[in-house]
Structure 1
Protein backbone atom coordinates (compact mmCIF):
# COMPACT_ATOMS: atom_id res chain seq x y z
CA UNK A 1 0.00 0.00 0.00
CA UNK A 2 1.32 3.42 -0.92
CA UNK A 3 0.68 6.31 1.43
CA UNK A 4 0.74 8.86 -1.41
CA UNK A 5 -2.52 10.80 -1.25
CA UNK A 6 -4.51 7.59 -0.83
CA UNK A 7 -7.75 7.61 1.14
CA UNK A 8 -9.38 4.88 3.18
CA UNK A 9 -13.16 4.83 3.56
CA UNK A 10 -13.32 8.14 1.64
CA UNK A 11 -12.33 9.84 4.85
CA UNK A 12 -8.80 9.03 6.02
CA UNK A 13 -6.00 10.56 3.96
CA UNK A 14 -2.83 8.50 4.39
CA UNK A 15 0.20 10.60 5.26
CA UNK A 16 3.03 8.19 6.05
CA UNK A 17 3.75 4.71 7.31
CA UNK A 18 4.86 4.75 10.94
CA UNK A 19 5.16 1.05 11.73
CA UNK A 20 5.02 -2.49 10.41
CA UNK A 21 4.69 -5.87 12.11
CA UNK A 22 3.80 -9.46 11.43
CA UNK A 23 0.06 -8.84 11.49
CA UNK A 24 -0.39 -5.30 10.19
CA UNK A 25 1.02 -2.01 9.00
CA UNK A 26 0.38 1.27 10.81
CA UNK A 27 -0.10 4.61 9.05
CA UNK A 28 -0.52 8.16 10.21
CA UNK A 29 -3.58 9.55 8.49
CA UNK A 30 -5.70 12.69 8.55
CA UNK A 31 -9.38 12.30 9.37
CA UNK A 32 -10.85 14.80 6.93
CA UNK A 33 -14.28 14.63 8.57
CA UNK A 34 -13.15 15.56 12.08
CA UNK A 35 -9.97 17.42 11.13
CA UNK A 36 -7.51 15.42 13.23
CA UNK A 37 -4.63 13.02 12.73
CA UNK A 38 -5.23 9.36 13.60
CA UNK A 39 -3.31 6.10 13.38
CA UNK A 40 -4.66 3.42 11.04
CA UNK A 41 -3.72 -0.20 11.74
CA UNK A 42 -4.25 -2.08 8.46
CA UNK A 43 -4.28 -5.86 8.94
CA UNK A 44 -2.70 -8.22 6.48
CA UNK A 45 -5.35 -10.24 4.64
CA UNK A 46 -4.49 -13.53 6.33
CA UNK A 47 -5.33 -12.09 9.75
CA UNK A 48 -8.36 -9.84 9.52
CA UNK A 49 -10.76 -8.80 6.80
CA UNK A 50 -13.46 -6.20 7.24
CA UNK A 51 -16.03 -8.99 7.72
CA UNK A 52 -13.96 -10.40 10.60
CA UNK A 53 -14.12 -7.09 12.44
CA UNK A 54 -17.83 -6.72 11.78
CA UNK A 55 -18.43 -10.12 13.35
CA UNK A 56 -16.53 -8.86 16.40
CA UNK A 57 -18.58 -5.67 16.75
CA UNK A 58 -19.39 -6.53 20.37
CA UNK A 59 -15.68 -6.63 21.20
CA UNK A 60 -15.12 -3.43 19.25
CA UNK A 61 -17.74 -1.68 21.38
CA UNK A 62 -16.09 -2.92 24.57
CA UNK A 63 -12.67 -1.67 23.50
CA UNK A 64 -13.97 1.62 22.09
CA UNK A 65 -15.66 2.36 25.41
CA UNK A 66 -12.44 1.95 27.39
CA UNK A 67 -11.03 5.30 28.38
CA UNK A 68 -7.84 5.89 30.35
CA UNK A 69 -5.05 8.48 30.01
CA UNK A 70 -2.48 5.70 29.54
CA UNK A 71 -4.42 3.78 26.89
CA UNK A 72 -4.35 4.51 23.16
CA UNK A 73 -8.02 5.03 22.31
CA UNK A 74 -9.77 2.91 19.68
CA UNK A 75 -12.06 5.21 17.70
CA UNK A 76 -13.57 2.97 15.04
CA UNK A 77 -13.11 0.09 12.59
CA UNK A 78 -13.36 0.27 8.81
CA UNK A 79 -11.81 -1.35 5.72
CA UNK A 80 -9.57 -0.44 2.81
CA UNK A 81 -10.28 -0.92 -0.89
CA UNK A 82 -9.06 -4.53 -0.69
CA UNK A 83 -11.45 -5.41 2.13
CA UNK A 84 -8.74 -5.63 4.78
CA UNK A 85 -9.75 -4.78 8.31
CA UNK A 86 -8.60 -1.39 9.59
CA UNK A 87 -8.57 -0.07 13.16
CA UNK A 88 -8.79 3.70 13.62
CA UNK A 89 -6.74 4.65 16.67
CA UNK A 90 -5.60 7.72 18.56
CA UNK A 91 -2.39 9.07 17.04
CA UNK A 92 0.40 9.47 19.60
CA UNK A 93 3.20 11.76 18.47
CA UNK A 94 6.39 10.31 19.91
CA UNK A 95 8.35 7.07 19.91
CA UNK A 96 7.99 3.67 21.56
CA UNK A 97 10.00 1.90 24.24
CA UNK A 98 11.54 -0.54 21.74
CA UNK A 99 13.04 2.29 19.72
CA UNK A 100 14.13 4.12 22.86
CA UNK A 101 15.93 1.01 24.17
CA UNK A 102 18.19 0.98 21.11
CA UNK A 103 20.07 3.78 22.87
CA UNK A 104 20.52 1.71 26.03
CA UNK A 105 18.68 1.46 29.36
CA UNK A 106 16.33 4.20 30.48
CA UNK A 107 17.02 6.35 33.55
CA UNK A 108 15.45 4.92 36.70
CA UNK A 109 13.13 7.92 37.07
CA UNK A 110 11.86 7.42 33.51
CA UNK A 111 11.25 3.71 34.15
CA UNK A 112 9.36 4.57 37.32
CA UNK A 113 7.12 7.02 35.42
CA UNK A 114 6.57 4.59 32.55
CA UNK A 115 5.89 1.77 35.00
CA UNK A 116 3.35 3.74 36.98
CA UNK A 117 1.40 4.78 33.88
CA UNK A 118 1.28 1.31 32.30
CA UNK A 119 0.49 -0.35 35.64
CA UNK A 120 -2.50 1.95 36.03
CA UNK A 121 -3.63 1.13 32.51
CA UNK A 122 -3.34 -2.61 33.16
CA UNK A 123 -5.25 -2.35 36.43
CA UNK A 124 -7.99 -0.49 34.55
CA UNK A 125 -8.36 -2.96 31.65
CA UNK A 126 -8.12 -5.98 33.93
CA UNK A 127 -10.90 -4.51 36.01
CA UNK A 128 -12.97 -4.41 32.81
CA UNK A 129 -12.24 -8.06 32.05
CA UNK A 130 -9.78 -7.37 29.20
CA UNK A 131 -6.38 -9.10 28.91
CA UNK A 132 -3.84 -7.52 26.57
CA UNK A 133 -1.72 -10.63 25.79
CA UNK A 134 1.11 -8.74 24.07
CA UNK A 135 2.84 -6.47 26.56
CA UNK A 136 6.12 -5.60 24.84
CA UNK A 137 8.30 -2.47 24.39
CA UNK A 138 6.92 -1.90 20.88
CA UNK A 139 3.41 -1.61 22.34
CA UNK A 140 4.37 1.02 24.91
CA UNK A 141 4.32 4.46 23.31
CA UNK A 142 6.26 7.36 24.77
CA UNK A 143 4.51 10.63 23.88
CA UNK A 144 6.48 13.77 23.27
CA UNK A 145 6.05 16.79 25.51
CA UNK A 146 2.35 17.12 26.29
CA UNK A 147 0.23 18.92 28.81
CA UNK A 148 -1.31 15.63 29.98
CA UNK A 149 1.75 14.61 31.97
CA UNK A 150 1.41 11.01 30.75
CA UNK A 151 4.80 9.32 30.36
CA UNK A 152 3.58 6.21 28.50
CA UNK A 153 0.55 4.84 26.68
CA UNK A 154 -0.33 1.21 26.06
CA UNK A 155 -1.37 0.37 22.51
CA UNK A 156 -2.58 -2.68 20.54
CA UNK A 157 -5.18 -3.27 23.21
CA UNK A 158 -7.50 -6.16 22.43
CA UNK A 159 -5.96 -7.18 19.11
CA UNK A 160 -6.16 -10.81 20.21
CA UNK A 161 -9.90 -10.42 20.77
CA UNK A 162 -10.59 -8.84 17.40
CA UNK A 163 -8.72 -10.95 14.89
CA UNK A 164 -10.18 -14.22 13.65
CA UNK A 165 -8.85 -17.08 15.82
CA UNK A 166 -9.23 -19.50 12.92
CA UNK A 167 -6.92 -17.38 10.79
CA UNK A 168 -4.31 -17.25 13.54
CA UNK A 169 -4.44 -21.03 13.98
CA UNK A 170 -4.21 -21.72 10.25
CA UNK A 171 -1.10 -19.56 9.88
CA UNK A 172 0.60 -20.87 13.01
CA UNK A 173 0.83 -17.32 14.35
CA UNK A 174 1.12 -16.82 18.10
CA UNK A 175 -0.32 -13.75 19.76
CA UNK A 176 2.42 -12.16 21.79
CA UNK A 177 6.06 -11.18 21.28
CA UNK A 178 8.33 -14.17 21.94
CA UNK A 179 10.78 -12.51 24.34
CA UNK A 180 7.97 -11.26 26.58
CA UNK A 181 5.58 -14.23 26.69
CA UNK A 182 4.49 -15.37 30.11
CA UNK A 183 5.17 -19.02 31.06
CA UNK A 184 1.52 -19.88 30.47
CA UNK A 185 1.64 -18.34 27.00
CA UNK A 186 4.88 -20.18 26.21
CA UNK A 187 3.30 -23.42 27.41
CA UNK A 188 0.05 -22.91 25.51
CA UNK A 189 -2.06 -22.59 28.68
CA UNK A 190 -4.98 -20.24 29.31
CA UNK A 191 -3.94 -16.67 30.03
CA UNK A 192 -5.38 -14.03 32.33
CA UNK A 193 -4.32 -10.76 33.99
CA UNK A 194 -1.25 -12.35 35.69
CA UNK A 195 0.14 -13.08 32.23
CA UNK A 196 0.13 -9.37 31.38
CA UNK A 197 1.77 -8.56 34.72
CA UNK A 198 4.57 -11.07 34.11
CA UNK A 199 5.23 -9.72 30.60
CA UNK A 200 5.21 -6.18 31.95
CA UNK A 201 7.81 -7.19 34.54
CA UNK A 202 10.08 -8.39 31.73
CA UNK A 203 9.63 -5.06 29.94
CA UNK A 204 10.50 -3.08 33.07
CA UNK A 205 13.56 -5.25 33.66
CA UNK A 206 14.76 -4.58 30.11
CA UNK A 207 14.14 -0.85 30.53
CA UNK A 208 16.45 -0.87 33.56
CA UNK A 209 19.18 -3.12 32.15
CA UNK A 210 18.99 -2.52 28.39
CA UNK A 211 19.02 -6.29 27.86
CA UNK A 212 16.24 -8.80 27.22
CA UNK A 213 15.77 -11.34 29.99
CA UNK A 214 15.01 -14.08 27.43
CA UNK A 215 16.84 -13.37 24.17
CA UNK A 216 17.17 -15.68 21.17
CA UNK A 217 14.75 -17.12 18.68
CA UNK A 218 11.10 -17.65 19.51
CA UNK A 219 11.65 -21.32 20.36
CA UNK A 220 14.77 -20.62 22.43
CA UNK A 221 13.11 -17.80 24.30
CA UNK A 222 9.98 -19.82 25.06
CA UNK A 223 11.99 -22.84 26.20
CA UNK A 224 14.05 -20.67 28.54
CA UNK A 225 10.86 -19.20 29.99
CA UNK A 226 9.72 -22.66 31.07
CA UNK A 227 13.03 -23.67 32.61
CA UNK A 228 14.23 -20.65 34.60
CA UNK A 229 13.25 -17.34 36.14
CA UNK A 230 14.54 -14.04 34.74
CA UNK A 231 17.86 -12.98 36.24
CA UNK A 232 17.84 -9.91 38.44
CA UNK A 233 21.22 -8.12 38.31
CA UNK A 234 22.62 -7.37 41.74
CA UNK A 235 23.52 -3.82 40.67
CA UNK A 236 19.83 -2.86 40.41
CA UNK A 237 18.41 -0.84 43.27
CA UNK A 238 16.04 -3.26 45.09
CA UNK A 239 13.47 -0.51 45.42
Structure 2
Protein backbone atom coordinates (compact mmCIF):
# COMPACT_ATOMS: atom_id res chain seq x y z
CA UNK A 1 0.00 0.00 0.00
CA UNK A 2 1.30 3.44 -0.95
CA UNK A 3 0.51 6.67 0.83
CA UNK A 4 0.58 10.00 -0.96
CA UNK A 5 0.06 13.55 0.26
CA UNK A 6 -1.28 14.76 -3.07
CA UNK A 7 -4.37 13.71 -5.01
CA UNK A 8 -3.65 10.92 -7.46
CA UNK A 9 -4.57 11.39 -11.14
CA UNK A 10 -7.29 9.05 -12.42
CA UNK A 11 -8.35 8.18 -15.96
CA UNK A 12 -11.42 6.49 -17.48
CA UNK A 13 -13.51 7.62 -14.54
CA UNK A 14 -17.08 6.41 -14.18
CA UNK A 15 -19.30 7.38 -11.20
CA UNK A 16 -20.82 4.55 -9.19
CA UNK A 17 -22.44 5.95 -6.04
CA UNK A 18 -22.62 9.01 -3.81
CA UNK A 19 -23.11 9.12 -0.06
CA UNK A 20 -23.05 12.13 2.26
CA UNK A 21 -19.55 13.53 1.98
CA UNK A 22 -18.11 10.69 -0.15
CA UNK A 23 -18.54 9.59 -3.74
CA UNK A 24 -17.36 6.38 -5.37
CA UNK A 25 -16.22 5.65 -8.90
CA UNK A 26 -14.42 3.14 -11.05
CA UNK A 27 -11.31 4.41 -12.81
CA UNK A 28 -7.79 3.55 -13.86
CA UNK A 29 -4.79 4.43 -11.72
CA UNK A 30 -1.18 3.49 -12.29
CA UNK A 31 -2.22 1.38 -15.27
CA UNK A 32 -4.79 -0.79 -13.52
CA UNK A 33 -8.56 -0.75 -12.92
CA UNK A 34 -9.49 0.58 -9.48
CA UNK A 35 -12.40 1.47 -7.25
CA UNK A 36 -11.98 4.89 -5.64
CA UNK A 37 -13.67 6.57 -2.72
CA UNK A 38 -13.18 10.34 -2.68
CA UNK A 39 -13.87 12.63 0.27
CA UNK A 40 -16.07 15.49 -0.88
CA UNK A 41 -16.83 17.12 2.50
CA UNK A 42 -14.52 19.40 4.41
CA UNK A 43 -16.00 19.18 7.91
CA UNK A 44 -13.83 17.57 10.64
CA UNK A 45 -16.26 14.72 11.38
CA UNK A 46 -16.40 13.57 7.75
CA UNK A 47 -12.63 13.79 7.48
CA UNK A 48 -12.16 11.77 10.68
CA UNK A 49 -14.53 9.03 9.48
CA UNK A 50 -12.80 8.88 6.10
CA UNK A 51 -9.35 8.65 7.66
CA UNK A 52 -10.60 6.01 10.09
CA UNK A 53 -11.80 3.79 7.24
CA UNK A 54 -8.50 4.20 5.44
CA UNK A 55 -6.39 3.35 8.47
CA UNK A 56 -8.38 0.22 9.28
CA UNK A 57 -8.48 -1.05 5.69
CA UNK A 58 -4.75 -0.39 5.22
CA UNK A 59 -3.94 -2.52 8.27
CA UNK A 60 -5.51 -5.64 6.73
CA UNK A 61 -3.74 -8.06 4.40
CA UNK A 62 -5.74 -11.17 3.56
CA UNK A 63 -6.71 -12.71 0.21
CA UNK A 64 -10.43 -12.42 0.99
CA UNK A 65 -10.27 -8.78 2.17
CA UNK A 66 -10.03 -5.84 -0.25
CA UNK A 67 -7.29 -3.56 1.07
CA UNK A 68 -6.31 -0.23 -0.50
CA UNK A 69 -3.58 0.08 -3.09
CA UNK A 70 -3.05 3.73 -2.20
CA UNK A 71 -4.30 6.38 0.19
CA UNK A 72 -4.26 10.17 -0.06
CA UNK A 73 -5.87 12.69 2.31
CA UNK A 74 -8.99 12.63 0.11
CA UNK A 75 -8.80 9.30 -1.74
CA UNK A 76 -8.98 5.59 -0.93
CA UNK A 77 -7.88 3.63 -4.00
CA UNK A 78 -8.76 -0.08 -4.06
CA UNK A 79 -8.23 -2.81 -6.66
CA UNK A 80 -11.37 -3.24 -8.75
CA UNK A 81 -13.14 -6.55 -8.12
CA UNK A 82 -15.04 -7.75 -11.17
CA UNK A 83 -18.26 -9.65 -10.66
CA UNK A 84 -20.54 -7.53 -8.46
CA UNK A 85 -21.81 -7.90 -4.92
CA UNK A 86 -23.51 -10.80 -3.19
CA UNK A 87 -26.64 -8.64 -3.02
CA UNK A 88 -26.66 -8.32 -6.79
CA UNK A 89 -26.41 -12.11 -7.06
CA UNK A 90 -29.25 -12.64 -4.55
CA UNK A 91 -31.51 -10.27 -6.46
CA UNK A 92 -31.61 -12.90 -9.20
CA UNK A 93 -32.48 -15.78 -6.85
CA UNK A 94 -31.58 -17.23 -3.43
CA UNK A 95 -28.65 -19.64 -3.26
CA UNK A 96 -28.83 -23.37 -2.70
CA UNK A 97 -27.28 -24.82 0.45
CA UNK A 98 -23.97 -25.65 -1.23
CA UNK A 99 -23.35 -22.14 -2.59
CA UNK A 100 -24.78 -20.40 0.49
CA UNK A 101 -22.53 -22.31 2.87
CA UNK A 102 -19.52 -21.73 0.62
CA UNK A 103 -20.11 -17.98 0.70
CA UNK A 104 -20.65 -18.02 4.47
CA UNK A 105 -17.44 -20.00 4.91
CA UNK A 106 -15.48 -17.47 2.87
CA UNK A 107 -16.94 -14.61 4.90
CA UNK A 108 -16.06 -16.41 8.13
CA UNK A 109 -12.48 -16.95 6.94
CA UNK A 110 -12.14 -13.21 6.35
CA UNK A 111 -13.91 -12.36 9.63
CA UNK A 112 -11.68 -14.70 11.63
CA UNK A 113 -8.69 -12.83 10.27
CA UNK A 114 -10.24 -9.45 11.14
CA UNK A 115 -10.94 -10.55 14.69
CA UNK A 116 -7.40 -11.88 15.12
CA UNK A 117 -6.24 -8.40 14.13
CA UNK A 118 -8.51 -6.76 16.69
CA UNK A 119 -10.96 -5.47 14.06
CA UNK A 120 -14.75 -5.82 14.21
CA UNK A 121 -16.40 -5.04 10.89
CA UNK A 122 -19.84 -3.98 12.22
CA UNK A 123 -21.48 -3.81 8.76
CA UNK A 124 -21.42 -7.31 7.31
CA UNK A 125 -24.15 -7.64 4.70
CA UNK A 126 -24.49 -8.84 1.08
CA UNK A 127 -23.78 -5.32 -0.21
CA UNK A 128 -20.33 -5.48 1.42
CA UNK A 129 -19.39 -8.90 0.06
CA UNK A 130 -18.01 -8.92 -3.47
CA UNK A 131 -18.02 -12.13 -5.50
CA UNK A 132 -15.08 -12.44 -7.86
CA UNK A 133 -16.45 -13.05 -11.38
CA UNK A 134 -19.92 -13.22 -9.81
CA UNK A 135 -19.42 -16.83 -8.69
CA UNK A 136 -20.67 -17.67 -5.15
CA UNK A 137 -17.69 -19.76 -4.09
CA UNK A 138 -15.82 -19.44 -0.81
CA UNK A 139 -12.53 -18.37 -2.38
CA UNK A 140 -14.32 -15.77 -4.55
CA UNK A 141 -15.49 -13.83 -1.49
CA UNK A 142 -13.98 -10.36 -1.12
CA UNK A 143 -14.94 -8.39 1.99
CA UNK A 144 -15.16 -4.59 1.61
CA UNK A 145 -16.12 -1.36 3.43
CA UNK A 146 -14.62 -0.66 6.85
CA UNK A 147 -16.36 2.66 7.38
CA UNK A 148 -18.21 1.46 10.49
CA UNK A 149 -15.50 -0.81 11.85
CA UNK A 150 -13.88 -0.85 15.27
CA UNK A 151 -10.14 -1.44 15.67
CA UNK A 152 -8.37 -2.08 18.94
CA UNK A 153 -5.17 -0.74 17.38
CA UNK A 154 -6.57 2.78 17.01
CA UNK A 155 -6.43 5.02 20.08
CA UNK A 156 -9.85 6.53 19.45
CA UNK A 157 -13.05 4.87 18.26
CA UNK A 158 -14.77 7.70 16.40
CA UNK A 159 -18.06 5.75 16.37
CA UNK A 160 -18.06 5.05 20.12
CA UNK A 161 -21.56 4.71 21.55
CA UNK A 162 -23.30 5.10 18.19
CA UNK A 163 -25.97 2.88 16.67
CA UNK A 164 -24.31 2.82 13.27
CA UNK A 165 -25.09 -0.20 11.14
CA UNK A 166 -27.68 -1.66 8.80
CA UNK A 167 -30.77 -2.59 10.87
CA UNK A 168 -31.56 -5.89 9.13
CA UNK A 169 -27.97 -7.10 9.69
CA UNK A 170 -26.82 -5.45 12.92
CA UNK A 171 -26.82 -7.28 16.24
CA UNK A 172 -29.15 -6.08 19.04
CA UNK A 173 -26.24 -5.02 21.25
CA UNK A 174 -24.77 -3.03 18.37
CA UNK A 175 -28.09 -1.19 18.13
CA UNK A 176 -27.61 -0.26 21.79
CA UNK A 177 -24.17 1.22 21.09
CA UNK A 178 -21.92 -1.70 22.06
CA UNK A 179 -18.77 -1.58 19.93
CA UNK A 180 -15.91 -4.00 19.31
CA UNK A 181 -17.57 -7.30 20.28
CA UNK A 182 -16.66 -9.94 17.66
CA UNK A 183 -19.91 -11.79 18.41
CA UNK A 184 -21.77 -8.90 16.76
CA UNK A 185 -20.13 -9.87 13.47
CA UNK A 186 -21.12 -13.52 14.01
CA UNK A 187 -24.75 -12.42 14.34
CA UNK A 188 -24.41 -10.60 11.03
CA UNK A 189 -22.93 -13.67 9.34
CA UNK A 190 -25.92 -15.65 10.61
CA UNK A 191 -28.26 -13.11 9.00
CA UNK A 192 -26.22 -13.21 5.81
CA UNK A 193 -26.49 -17.02 5.62
CA UNK A 194 -30.24 -16.75 6.24
CA UNK A 195 -30.54 -14.14 3.47
CA UNK A 196 -28.54 -16.29 1.04
CA UNK A 197 -30.91 -19.23 1.56
CA UNK A 198 -34.22 -17.35 1.86
CA UNK A 199 -33.65 -14.32 -0.34
CA UNK A 200 -34.50 -11.98 2.56
CA UNK A 201 -33.29 -11.34 6.14
CA UNK A 202 -35.02 -13.01 9.12
CA UNK A 203 -36.85 -10.06 10.71
CA UNK A 204 -39.32 -8.04 8.67
CA UNK A 205 -39.52 -5.46 11.47
CA UNK A 206 -35.79 -5.19 12.07
CA UNK A 207 -36.00 -2.08 14.27
CA UNK A 208 -38.71 -3.68 16.41
CA UNK A 209 -36.49 -6.73 16.91
CA UNK A 210 -33.44 -4.61 17.74
CA UNK A 211 -35.40 -2.55 20.26
CA UNK A 212 -36.71 -5.70 21.93
CA UNK A 213 -40.39 -5.14 21.19
CA UNK A 214 -40.74 -7.69 18.37
CA UNK A 215 -39.59 -11.31 18.34
CA UNK A 216 -41.30 -12.73 15.29
CA UNK A 217 -38.76 -14.27 12.94
CA UNK A 218 -39.32 -15.79 9.53
CA UNK A 219 -39.07 -19.56 9.35
CA UNK A 220 -35.49 -20.79 9.14
CA UNK A 221 -34.66 -21.51 5.48
CA UNK A 222 -32.63 -24.29 3.97
CA UNK A 223 -32.14 -27.85 5.20
CA UNK A 224 -32.48 -28.74 8.89
CA UNK A 225 -28.73 -29.41 9.53
CA UNK A 226 -28.12 -25.66 9.06
CA UNK A 227 -30.84 -24.58 11.49
CA UNK A 228 -28.94 -25.02 14.80
CA UNK A 229 -26.12 -22.82 13.51
CA UNK A 230 -28.47 -20.08 12.31
CA UNK A 231 -30.55 -20.28 15.49
CA UNK A 232 -27.42 -19.89 17.62
CA UNK A 233 -25.92 -17.07 15.56
CA UNK A 234 -29.20 -15.13 15.57
CA UNK A 235 -29.61 -15.29 19.34
CA UNK A 236 -30.32 -12.02 21.10
CA UNK A 237 -28.05 -13.27 23.90
CA UNK A 238 -24.43 -12.96 22.77
CA UNK A 239 -23.42 -15.82 25.07
CA UNK A 240 -25.60 -18.19 23.02
CA UNK A 241 -23.75 -17.45 19.78
CA UNK A 242 -20.62 -19.29 18.64
CA UNK A 243 -17.57 -18.29 20.62
CA UNK A 244 -15.56 -17.29 17.55
CA UNK A 245 -15.61 -17.15 13.77
CA UNK A 246 -13.41 -20.26 13.71
CA UNK A 247 -15.92 -22.18 15.84
CA UNK A 248 -18.81 -21.00 13.67
CA UNK A 249 -16.90 -22.15 10.60
CA UNK A 250 -16.38 -25.58 12.17
CA UNK A 251 -20.14 -25.91 12.77
CA UNK A 252 -20.77 -24.85 9.18
CA UNK A 253 -18.35 -27.46 7.86
CA UNK A 254 -19.98 -30.14 10.03
CA UNK A 255 -23.39 -29.21 8.64
CA UNK A 256 -22.05 -29.47 5.10
CA UNK A 257 -20.71 -32.95 5.80
CA UNK A 258 -24.10 -33.97 7.23
CA UNK A 259 -25.69 -32.71 4.02
CA UNK A 260 -23.29 -34.77 1.94
CA UNK A 261 -21.57 -31.71 0.50
CA UNK A 262 -17.85 -31.82 -0.32
CA UNK A 263 -15.52 -30.49 2.37
CA UNK A 264 -13.96 -27.08 1.95
CA UNK A 265 -10.19 -26.53 2.27
CA UNK A 266 -10.44 -24.73 5.60
CA UNK A 267 -8.88 -25.80 8.91
CA UNK A 268 -10.86 -28.36 10.93
CA UNK A 269 -9.79 -26.69 14.17
CA UNK A 270 -8.63 -23.17 15.03
CA UNK A 271 -4.89 -22.72 14.86
CA UNK A 272 -3.01 -21.02 17.68
CA UNK A 273 -2.47 -17.76 15.83
CA UNK A 274 -2.73 -14.25 17.17
CA UNK A 275 -2.16 -11.98 14.18
CA UNK A 276 -3.22 -14.12 11.25
CA UNK A 277 -6.00 -16.48 10.33
CA UNK A 278 -5.02 -20.10 9.59
CA UNK A 279 -6.34 -19.88 6.02
CA UNK A 280 -3.15 -18.87 4.25
CA UNK A 281 -2.68 -17.23 0.88
CA UNK A 282 -1.47 -20.54 -0.56
CA UNK A 283 -4.50 -22.40 0.72
CA UNK A 284 -6.85 -19.74 -0.59
CA UNK A 285 -5.72 -20.54 -4.10
CA UNK A 286 -6.63 -24.21 -3.78
CA UNK A 287 -10.02 -25.24 -5.21
CA UNK A 288 -12.51 -26.94 -2.88
CA UNK A 289 -11.75 -30.62 -2.44
TM-score range, shorter chain: 0.7 to 0.9
**Alpha carbons of structure 1 residues 141 and 21: separation in structure 2 relative to 1, 3 Å:** farther
Q: Deviations over 1:181-225 (max 9, x none)?
A: 101112222341110111111011010011211234x6445335x
SS in 1 for 2:76: strand
In structure 1, distance between residues paired with 2:162 and 2:185:
19
Residue aligning to 1:236: 223
In structure 2, distance between residues paired with 1:234 and 1:114:
16
State whether structure 2 residue 63 is matched by structure 1 residue 75: no
CA RMSD of aligned residues (A): 3.4
TM (normalized to structure 1)? 0.74
Partner residue of 1:222 out of 187, 210, 213: 210
In structure 1, distance between residues paired with 2:138 and 2:91:
24
Residue aligning to 1:42: 38
The count of aligned residue pairs is 214
- Confirm or deny: 8 A CA contact 1:53 1:77 kept in the other structure: no
State whether structure 2 residue 87 is matched by structure 1 residue 130: no
Residue aligning to 1:4: none
SS in 1 for 2:63: coil
**Alpha carbons of structure 1 residues 53 and 125: separation in structure 2 relative to 1, 3 Å:** same
**Alpha carbons of structure 1 residues 213 and 201: separation in structure 2 relative to 1, 3 Å:** same
| Cα shift at 1:173 | 7.6
Unpaired runs of 5+ residues, structure 2, are 1-5, 226-254, 256-289
Q: How does 1:1-239 map to 2 (within 5 A)?
A: 9-13=7-11, 15-21=13-19, 24-31=22-29, 34-43=30-39, 45=41, 48-49=46-47, 60=55, 63-79=57-73, 85-144=74-133, 150-157=139-146, 159-160=148-149, 174-216=163-205, 219-220=207-208, 222-223=210-211, 227-228=214-215, 230-233=217-220, 236-238=223-225, 239=255
Residue aligning to 1:82: none
Q: Could you say which structure has the higher strand fraction? A: 1
- Confirm or deny: 8 A CA contact 2:150 2:180 kept in the other structure: no
In structure 2, distance between residues paired with 1:87 and 1:98:
23
TM (normalized to structure 2)? 0.63
Unpaired runs of 5+ residues, structure 1, are 1-7, 80-84
In structure 2, distance between residues paired with 1:214 and 1:187:
17
